[in-house]
Amino acid sequence: MRRAPLAAAAATTSASASSAISITRLRLPRSGISFLASSSCVLRRSLHIYFQQRHQRGIFTNALNPNLNHHNHHHQNKRAMSTTNNSSQAHPGPTPEALPALLAKLQSRLPSSLPRSAHYLVPAATLLALRQPALVGGVFSAFAGQQQGTSGTDSSSSTTTTSGLTSLAIEPTTLSLHLRDLLLKAWTLTGIPLVIGAAASLAVAETASGHAFPAAHAQLSARYGGPPPSSSPSASNPSQAQNPSTQPQPPTPLPLDLAPHAPIPARGATHLQNLYRAQLGPILSTLGAAAADITWLEEAVIYGLFLSDDAVLSRVETSLVVLCAIMGQDLKAPALWHVRGLRRLGVSKDDVEALVRCVEEVAVWVDGGGGGWVGWVGEVEGDLVGDEAWEAEGRGEGGQKA
């Protein structure tokens, strides 16, 4: 009976193995043993060099271990991984032409309970964090051009632009003011080089729009002081724009004094306490000898001068910008801090989760990365329960015990 090829091969292999075993039982002279040992070393060295060269040329890796390329790719550039785990399909990358479609998708997913400014603040802050400053001007162009390209006959209802965006009925000057305030605050989170690039992109878009924009926003001097946010309504409030008599008078600027306990650092400390509450002390305690330096930087500069300023963007709007800019960098710990902050400002858990999904959507659009961030939102709920005890201690607006 004829043997099958596989059986024949197995028999040959078995015979070879038996021969090898019988050879090892022979008493070979020392010269023969040395020859076999040296031959084995040469063979191993040759194979090592061969496979190493093929690996360097990218030929052998997939054949040896299909998961190895994926593993290395994950460590070299985590953000370039697709959330669908389909590494065989190249990501097209972001383009200005595709940006309006992304913005329209975000509009359909952002809750109506969030400020309408979130429609452009969320993508702009996230694109900045994802190192796409050149696209910030495209966000401006998409919404600034709505008045020239809307469809629909009922002016009292939302209209849809030719690009698929829902019209926000926002003046280009207000849109510019909001995006510039976003950049003034976002540099503390993403760094100044990205912000400079975004400002240049915004300038090109503003010029192309044909509108005139002031060189500096009207309340720049008011950044260094003013009444509490509760008595300074946001400039983005539509009711204020429609009724100029309700516009607050420019507050009297505080002296530009960044020394500890001066008015500006005190404003920053108040804002920090209201956002972080019982978690602030434990966070600062992890900084060791740098705690005093970082505390001053946060209170006087980051929060004192910028993030606590509500002359243009409200507290909620600023917190949206902050969370998007941090989460877009895939930084979990600080993202959790500002998830708590948004929740403490009255934004519901469902709305925060919807916001984070939009950040993920932008990340996927940019490079196929992002994912799993929505699950972070639920991790802070236990800390929010503890807020009642924190408030019961009698801590006032300034974060000190009354």
Domain-wise residue ranges, the chain: 38-258+309-395, 261-308
CA distance 138 to 44: 58
SS3 sequence of 235-268: CCCHHHHHCHHHCCCCCCCCCCCCCCCCHHHHHH
User: Mean of the pLDDT values across residues 149-162?
Assistant: 47
pLDDT at 372: 87
What 8-state DSSP symbol labels residue 302? I
pLDDT at 174: 93
Q: Is the pLDDT of residue 199 over 50?
A: yes
CA-nearest of 129, 179, 113 to 345 is 113
> Comparing 385 with 163, which gets the higher pLDDT?
385
A 10 A CB-CB count for 28 gives: 12
Q: Are the CB atoms for 224 and 262 separated by under 8 Å?
A: no
The pLDDT tens digits of the residues spanning 303-345 come to 999 999 998 999 999 999 999 999 999 999 999 999 999 999 9
> Comparing 229 with 35, which gets the higher pLDDT?
35
Helix axes 172-190 and 315-327, enclosed angle (nearest 10) = 50
pLDDT at 219: 55
> Comparing 38 with 130, which gets the higher pLDDT?
130
Q: Is the pLDDT of residue 187 over 60?
A: yes
Q: Is the pLDDT of residue 84 over 60?
A: no
CA distance 217 to 197: 19
A 10 A CB-CB count for 139 gives: 29
> Comparing 198 with 93, which gets the higher pLDDT?
198
Q: Which whole-number Å values give the CA distances from 98 to 191, 196, 362, in the listed order? A: 26, 23, 12
Question: What tokens appear for 132 in the block?
Answer: 């796409």
Q: Are the CB atoms for 324 and 359 separated by under 8 Å?
A: yes
pLDDT at 97: 94
The pLDDT tens digits of the residues spanning 278-300 come to 999 999 999 999 999 999 999 99
